[in-house]
Structure 1
């Protein structure tokens, strides 16, 4: 099946899942996860009218950015970001999905101040409480977000999570439900410096459950581009 047809079919599925959940289909956006996908195949999606792309590896993003720039995609960085890679990634992205520690906050803020600009960010949450995953524990998120008042170059737009890798719907949806509760909490009066509008959760295996639990950004790759040569754990999350 062509990438264009796969995209069309997925967008119809997303619409139907939104309607079944009593949600406006326009409230959910599809981000294509492009890890290991060659630029020529990504270009097929862009030529079919899709624009929102997400990459996990800095070097891959830099290469693909150059090759695909004429098609004007919107790039998000969705993988773990090392502080020493901040300078390499900033020229290429509109949003970072994986803000998870103060050392990264400080390096981003320093570089952004030097450039006289801001960056939209999502705070990454370890909703499954797995030691192998990056992200803040849910109970630490509110204080972390409060601290970000002192870093106005970072525009907090919401939260991101990678749910439990499992076929157990109940356990996966627990992760998403936890995120939705936290998302609503952060809309409170205490957090006037943030704009809670994005809940980035759900991938090829669990996006339907994520829609039902309130996701606004779905990160889907294999359902459009096919299986990758290595398991997801090879690409993201990286080993701590």
Structure 2
């Protein structure tokens, strides 16, 4: 099987998984978007997926955004940044993406705001929350998320679209679901307390997207299920 056929078949299989998970949860399949996590994936393979209909691409590293830009810039896809963003990389990342899914501090929001004022631009953001409590993961503590949402939403160059989390690394499905349920609960409380509409819940990956969809995910980040194991 050629690389092109393999990627296309895998993408179709992921879409079928999402559709089945939505049906099982009583949701419409079109309510959940698939974002391709493309860390270490060569640009030509990403381009195959885009030609097969993928429209959301997520990169973890600013350097890879820059390296792949020449080949991907003209394609009909939207690029997001989904990795931990250091403040000294803000200027670079804004050249390439329409959404930053990993805003995990007010300081980072301030840095983005100042740079966008100079550029006279805007960017969509998601607030990253560490709902699993694992020290290896970035993100705000759940108890700090509402205050951070209020603060970030005051910055006119940032459009807060929702929340992002990385699920608990566990073989126990209910524990993984609990980490996703926590993000949905934060979204619901934020809507009730602040009036913010947060339509995006970015949660769920190749191994656990069904659990995330069951808990309300509107965007799953899938890499290995489409491109194979990461090099």
TM-score (norm 1): 0.92
Q: Secondary structure at the match of 1:70?
A: coil
Show the counterpart of 2:71.
67
Q: CA deviation at 1:191?
A: 2.1
Structure 1 window deviating more from structure 2 (72-81 vs 61-70): it is 61-70
Q: CA deviation at 1:181?
A: 0.7
Show the counterpart of 2:52.
48
Within 1, Cα distance between the matches of 2:94 and 2:51?
A: 25
Within 1, Cα distance between the matches of 2:190 and 2:122?
A: 21
Within 1, Cα distance between the matches of 2:71 and 2:153?
A: 37
Show the counterpart of 1:107.
111
Is 1:124 the counterpart of 2:137 in the alignment?
Answer: no
Show the counterpart of 1:216.
218
Show the counterpart of 1:34.
38
Match of 1:4 among 5, 8, 16: 8
Q: CA deviation at 1:150?
A: 3.0
Deviations 1:75-130 (A, max 9, x none): 00000000010000101101100001122111100011111121110000000111
Within 2, Cα distance between the matches of 1:202 and 1:9?
A: 16
Aligned length: 227
Q: What are structure 1's unaligned runs of at least 5 residues?
A: 230-240
Is 1:20 the counterpart of 2:11 in the alignment?
Answer: no
Deviations 1:136-177 (A, max 9, x none): 000100111111243111111100000111121011011011
Q: Secondary structure at the match of 2:73?
A: helix
Show the counterpart of 1:196.
198
Q: Secondary structure at the match of 1:202?
A: coil
Q: CA deviation at 1:73?
A: 1.8
CA contact 2:60–2:84 (8 Å) conserved in 1: yes
Q: CA deviation at 1:70?
A: 2.3
RMSD: 1.1
Within 2, Cα distance between the matches of 1:79 and 1:167?
A: 24
Q: Secondary structure at the match of 2:191?
A: coil
Show the counterpart of 1:228.
230
Q: How does 1:170-185 map to 2 (within 5 A)?
A: 170-185=174-189
Within 2, Cα distance between the matches of 1:21 and 1:184?
A: 18
Match of 1:135 among 125, 139, 163: 139
Q: CA deviation at 1:64?
A: 1.1
